A and B are shown apart, each in its own frame.
Chain A
Amino acid sequence: MTGVETPLLSLREVAVTRGYRALLAGINLDIKPGELWQLTGPNGSGKTSLLRAIAGLIRVGVSGTIDRPETLLFQGHAPGIKGLLTPLENLQSHPGGLIEVESDRVREALAAVGLLRCLDTPVMRLSAGQQRRVGLARLWLSRSSLWLLDEPFTAIDRQGTTLLEDKLRSHCERGGAVVFTSHQDGKFGANLNQLELADYAAR
């Protein structure tokens, strides 16, 4: 069954070099719809670099072939949120595009991440965790099937972590795929695939 499904993302002999330092080599990976992948590894092992390479942000120093879908959602350490704008304004004109921007849908998404009471507050007056949630509200509006999330659980409280885990799981159940980096072991159980980058460290 899974054999016939075409992968959303496939990596063939991918190697990543940053500056003069070879980070990763020999990565072969097929990610099919419905799969949830966690990139693990110690600090500096190249999790963020690999994720940025998959997103197409870094090309220099990346060898091998990466077949990525035409559209994807990428969330880095900084989510592209402007402190001067309100959460609503931020999401409706978000530079990442590919999300639904009708104001009712955005309101629903902000309610889902628990920001209903801060709709008209400039983001810079929100707490760090709330600011992260504004960025994560994009997941509720996304029209892309592949999500690449760099440390999505940073600065999120326990209730928010559960919410986010549920969201990632339901995205996979609806035929999407998620690749994320995290140091925490979430409660994904057997659904979670892990790629330990220490095994692919370049020598």
Chain B
Amino acid sequence: MRPDSLGFCRQLFVRHLRCGVRRVEEVFNSLVFFLMVVTLFPLGIGPDSNTLRELSPGIFWVVALLSALSVSGRLFSADFEDGSLEQLAVSGHPLGLCAMAEVLAHWVLSGLTLVVAAPVFALMLNMVPAAIPTLMLSLVLGTLCLSLLGGIGAALTVGVRRGALLLSLVMIPLTVPVLIFGTSAVGEAAIGYDPSRWIALMGAFAAMGLLLAPLAIGAGLRISLEQ
């Protein structure tokens, strides 16, 4: 850690955001994936709107998890191929901290865009409108957790050819708490209960992730660069 490390990370964050905005179709890709699933579920389940209403928190969170899984595998692959990662590794700044700039930029572009689009998707799934603020809040925290976990998985598998399967195996068990907290929060809000304990658990999960993910990501990237 050098005195200018945080300024350096801020620069990297802007760099990744800028790249992400110029490749905006990738942001839309995951939203379109979401839209497709949310459109198909009502058709598959049938015309009974009550069933859909009951299932909607679970459907929403499973799809959020799967779409996070499908994009986070490529989190570091561009940086790996164009040499950015090895440059980070020799920059003298903590590698994990620098990589967090990338993870957080990814979260802003994929997670927060999903939060903005969530009310529309929720209504398409016939979710109780009163649960939508809870859904959005839990998504802010939950997508952050998923991005952090995805960062750990991506750091470990970035040098592996066809690492997507490996990544799923590594990540899915870790993401289960997010799924449980998220579904419970939205489900309880939908039937009029106070969901704050689930949100608190999720916040704790995100806080722990923010603290520990840089260490794990840094170590994972070091291993991946050893080739």
Contacts and interface: CB of A to CB of B under 8 A. Distances in A.
Interface stretch (B66-74, B77-85, B112-120, B136-144): B77-85
Interface of A: 52, 55-60, 70-74, 76-85, 89, 92-98, 101, 122
A71 B90 CA distance: 8
Contacts of B22: 84-85, 122
Contacts of A56: 89-90
A55 B227 CA distance: 13
B86 A85 contact: no
A78 to B, nearest CB: 3
B37 interface: no
B194 to A, nearest CB: 44
Contacts of B86: 52, 55, 57, 74, 76, 78, 80
15 contacts: A56-B89, A70-B92, A78-B83, A78-B86, A79-B82, A80-B83, A80-B87, A84-B18, A93-B12, A95-B12, A95-B84, A95-B98, A96-B91, A97-B92, A97-B93
B98 A84 contact: no
Contacts of B92: 70-71, 97-98
Contacts of B82: 78-83
Contact of A93 (B14, B89, B93, B226): B14
Contact of B84 (A60, A80, A89, A98): A80
A99 to B, nearest CB: 10
The 4 closest A-B pairs by CB, nearest first: A78-B83, A96-B87, A80-B87, A93-B15
Contact of A58 (B85, B88, B226): B226
A52 B226 CA distance: 9
A75 B79 CA distance: 14
Given A78-B83, A84-B19, A84-B23, A72 B11 contact: no
Given A58-B226, A77-B83, A97-B8, A82 B90 contact: no
Interface in B1-52: 8, 11-12, 14-15, 18-19, 22-23
Interface in B165-222: none
Given A60-B226, A80-B82, A94 B23 contact: no
Instruction: Identify which of B81, B91, B226 gathers the most chain A CB atoms within 10 Å of its CB.
Output: B91
B57 to A, nearest CB: 37
A98 B14 CA distance: 18
A74 B14 CA distance: 23
Nearest to A81: B82
A72 B90 CA distance: 7
